[in-house]
Structure 1
Amino acid sequence: REPPRVALVCGSGLGALAEELTEPITIDYRDIPHFPRSTVQGHAGRLVVGRLGSAPCAVLQGRFHLYEGNAPSQVVIPVRTMALLGVHTLVLTNAAGSLRPELGPGHLLVIRDHIDLPGLAGRSPLVGPNDERFGTRFPSMTDAYDPALRRLALALAPKELRARSGVYVGVGGPSYETPAECRYLRRAGAHAVG
């Protein structure tokens, strides 16, 4: 009925946010052409469109991972679909492992920067023919995470979440990191890993 302006990609355990939408329309990923299949437990594999407060919103209940056998170009299909629908604000969420003792369970990390280890090794969704609808061949990553939205998230986060900003490092998975890998990633400046 109304194109979404905001999209939220829900990671493990966060899909229940879709229940907050009013006038929801639910579509299974398998019914959306070219969407990969979500195979991770806790990722329902549904797109729910409705209103969250006053905002027309899309909630993606689950996402796709390289370790599920997807190519980087497949993993970004939902995000690119949202852009084509008119979404201008994208919120990505996930459950991640802390690399810092001050970031225990229940803390909220608002990402200010990232280290994309698969991307640095050539497993980037930007590899291949460039589609100008989604931006330039070499996008600036200086403010990949909108500074104004980060400030807003930190200001509005409930006190009990002990929100702070930090650096997220993405790895290929699906295994957890070894103690040596965690020490390495911590020294590289990362606060959380997934």
Structure 2
Amino acid sequence: MSLLEKIQATKQYLVAQGIGEVEFGLILGSGLGELADEIQDAVKIPYHEIPYFPVSTVVGHAGMLVYGTLSGKKVLALQGRFHFYEGNSMEVVTYPVRVMKALGAHSIVVTNACGGVNENFVPGDLMLIDDQINFTGTNPLIGENIEAFGPRFPDMSDAYTKEYRDIAHVVAEKISLDLKDGVYMGFSGPTYETPAEVRMARILGADAVGMSTVPEVIVAVHSGMKVLGISCITNLAAGMQSSLNHAEVVETTERVKESFKTFVKAVLEKL
């Protein structure tokens, strides 16, 4: 079965479950999935029940698709994403973005928990992603290009939509949130970066490093979608603090989740 046919089958199943028109896709990273609990009139579907849908295996990812209304917008939220390091192909990692587009989404809001490379960042900061560096070693668009999805050579000049970033800054100021800006550099994982890799990332212009987001954003841009990206700086990257572990990531997102949820909802209202 072709990718196009799989997406159509997934779409038909979701529509039959009560999922209607989607405006915004939400991809919620480690520890940030609670935002989906605030969606009103929610239709919730476990990933494992959805035809051709992958299943998340990471702690802190609920594995639930949630549809409904948030801040007056029709949203489809992923409580937990799919990573390349789980052994998934890039087609699988980005499959939900293709499904969101098929259901009518014109934009995605993508979030993640990541390591701070910028020496002015502290754990708990929220960073608006203004650009990205793909250091995963691959690209989700490698292979045959399906014209129905998008062009062979997508322009990544404005991958993170400037109009959305400007609105996010106005909202942050209004709610007195010290919002940072920065470049997100995507690695494959699952190891955390070495201190030498972090020094390299800083030299290359990265402000934060992580193991997600980059593939989904490439596919969103390929699909003609607008993108807003928000990173939660959960720890300082290797060489900047004594050691790294996933428990700390979840703990930091737990600490900042209220300000994160307030911010995303307020921005969504204005988009």
TM-score (norm 2): 0.68
| 1:33 CA drift (Å) | 1.5
| 1:186 CA drift (Å) | 0.3
1:159 lines up with 2:204 in the alignment: no
1:102 lines up with 2:133 in the alignment: no
Partner of 2:22: 4
Q: 2:203 aligns with which of 171, 179, 187?
A: 187
Q: 1:178 aligns with which of 182, 191, 194?
A: 194
**How far apart are the structure 2 equivalents of 1:111 and 1:4?**
23
- RMSD, matched Cα: 1.1
| 1:35 CA drift (Å) | 1.4
Say which structure is richer in helix: 2
Contact 1:154 1:164 in 2 (8 A): no
Q: 2:73 aligns with which of 49, 55, 61?
A: 55
Contact 1:43 1:63 in 2 (8 A): yes
Q: 2:149 aligns with which of 134, 151, 154?
A: 134
Identity %: 48
| 1:9 CA drift (Å) | 0.3
Letter in 2 for 1:193: V
| Unaligned segments of structure 2, at least 5 residues | 1-17, 211-271
What SS does the aligned partner of 1:51 have? strand
Letter in 2 for 1:23: D
TM-score (norm 1): 0.94
| Unaligned segments of structure 1, at least 5 residues | none
**How far apart are the structure 1 equivalents of 2:45 and 2:68?**
12
What SS does the aligned partner of 1:132 have? coil
What SS does the aligned partner of 1:95 have? strand
Partner of 1:16: 34
Aligned pair count?
190
